[in-house]
Amino acid sequence: MKATDARSKTVDELSDELARLKKEQFNLRFQKATGQLEQTGRIREVRRDIARVKTIARQKAAEAKA
């Protein structure tokens, strides 16, 4: 997910996206543990997407307060 895509979403959509990414991260970790993971770089992408979504959600929350 690009930062511009995330910025265009609402806070509720970002929380839904965060839940989806965390579920995907769990599934990828499970695949890695069982030796079934083929796209090892996907773990890194998902981890960074989670950080990106959290950052943008936090920025939106700060804007709402101000």
CATH of the domain at 9: 1.10.287
The amino acid present at 52, given as its one-letter code, is R
Q: What is the pLDDT of residue 46?
A: 97
pTM of the model: 0.91
Q: What is the pLDDT of residue 1?
A: 79
Domain count for the chain: 1
pLDDT tens per residue across span 7-65? 999 999 999 999 999 999 999 999 999 999 999 999 999 999 999 999 999 999 999 88
Task: Give the total residue count for the chain.
Answer: 66
CA distances from 45 to 13, 15, 41, 62 (A): 19, 18, 7, 26
Q: What is the pLDDT of residue 65?
A: 86
Residues of the domain holding 7 = 3-64
Q: What is the pLDDT of residue 20?
A: 98
14: helix, strand or coil: helix
Q: What is the 3-class SS of 34-56, one letter each residue?
A: HCCCCCCHHHHHHHHHHHHHHHH
